[in-house]
Amino acid sequence: MIHRSLFSRCFLPSLRLPSSSSKLGGGCHGDAFRAISSMPEPCRSSPISDGDSCDFDWDSLGFGLMPTDYMYIMKCAINESFERGQISRYGNIELSPSAGVLNYGQGLFEGLKAYRKDDGGVLLFRPHENALRMRAGADRMCMPSPTVEQFVDAVKQTTIANRRWVPPPGKGSLYIRPLLIGTGPILGLAPSPEYTFLVFASPVRNYFKEGSAPLNLYVENEFDRASRGGTGGVKSISNYAPVLKAITRAKSRGFSDVLYLDSVNKRDVEEVSSCNIFIVKGNVISTPATHGTILPGVTRKSIIDIARDRGYEVEERAINVEEVLDAREVFCTGTAVGVAPVGSITCMDRRIEYQTGAETTCQELYSTLVGIQTGTIEDKMGWTVEIC
């Protein structure tokens, strides 16, 4: 929950998005976005001081939107390239009722995090991977996309501008949400004539209400998350609203989330609503292969590499639901959830419980990942980017 005094400081005026015709100069410059105030000074690589962190009860932090100070915006017309964006005050945006994103769902989003180190510095985790995934998604959705360099630079600028919202070590992280949406007006079914790339951020802690407690999943037999030839393998905004029905129903029955099966045979597991899934049997860790219906998660990719580095055999393949029910351990991975243990899975009327706790493979991989993300374990992979 946002404290009233904190919300008052963070609620800022609306920002109107001008059309491409109102931009200054040629190309797709973002100069038309006038910053309400200048960007803060670059932060110092020193322990947190009163100027570097908000006066906020970080122990009360959950996973909900807490408006921060600044966002990044860059615009582009169709068949052109993004060129330059700008940091502006966080606020509402104005869209035409006929905007492509509102009428046809032409949009993508990403999610990544910034972590506060013990010495006060701030680390980003694998932003280049998110940039590459957005570009792949943009190609699928017929949208122009920022280059990898533009994407990473925008994330860096947004994080630096909102550095006081990066929680202290062990108290959470700054969740960064890049968006690529069709904002130009369109009536017939066609690509939008104009696009906006926007990055905002919010401090967060645990995604699930259970916190770090094991999850209880329900195998969904009625609704599908994705189908062959669809957009399940990219982070399209249109992938998420359709799962709300299944999630709401599952949570009303006391479950944490839903585990989806393939849409053709209803036999192989695919993923949970917002995260990938892994099973553990002995020294073998298995996860469903990404063949177009499963999102290739950045955390998923990282856990696979960490597990192999620690001597585990990792398989990416089709996994029958019966194999999942016979596993020793099950866990989920994702930017929002991190690495979350699964305590039980219910399939029809059958409930299976799994090993959880301190001595599990899940905990071993989680501790290693978090150590790299927060700088307490040496990053031999070259995954982190220190920005301030």
Question: At CA 135, angle to CA 130 and CA 141, rounded to 5?
Answer: 120
Q: How far is CA 191 from the centre of its chain?
A: 25
Instruction: Look up residue 181 and give its two tokens.
Output: 């949406």
Return d(Cα 351, Cα 349) in angstroms, integer.
Answer: 7
Q: Where are the alpha helices (DSSP H) in 193-317?
A: 244-252, 298-309
Residue matched to tokens 């945006």: 93
Instruction: Look up residue 230 and give its two tokens.
Output: 């669809």
Catalytic residue among 23, 75, 235, 281: 235
- In order, the DSSP letters of 331-348 are EEEETTTEEEEEEEEEET
DSSP 8-state class, residue 310: T
Instruction: Look up residue 142 and give its two tokens.
Output: 């017929």
Instruction: Look up residue 19 and give its two tokens.
Output: 């059309």
Return d(Cα 74, Cα 83) in angstroms, integer.
Answer: 8
171 is catalytic: no
Contact assessment for residue 384 and residue 363, using Cβ atoms and an 8 Å cutoff: no
Instruction: Look up residue 300 and give its two tokens.
Output: 């998923």
- In a 3-state reduction of DSSP, which class is residue 163? helix
Closest CA to 255 of 209, 207, 202: 209
* Separation in Å, CA 208 to CA 130, 276, 334: 22, 15, 12
- Kindly list the catalytic residues: 235
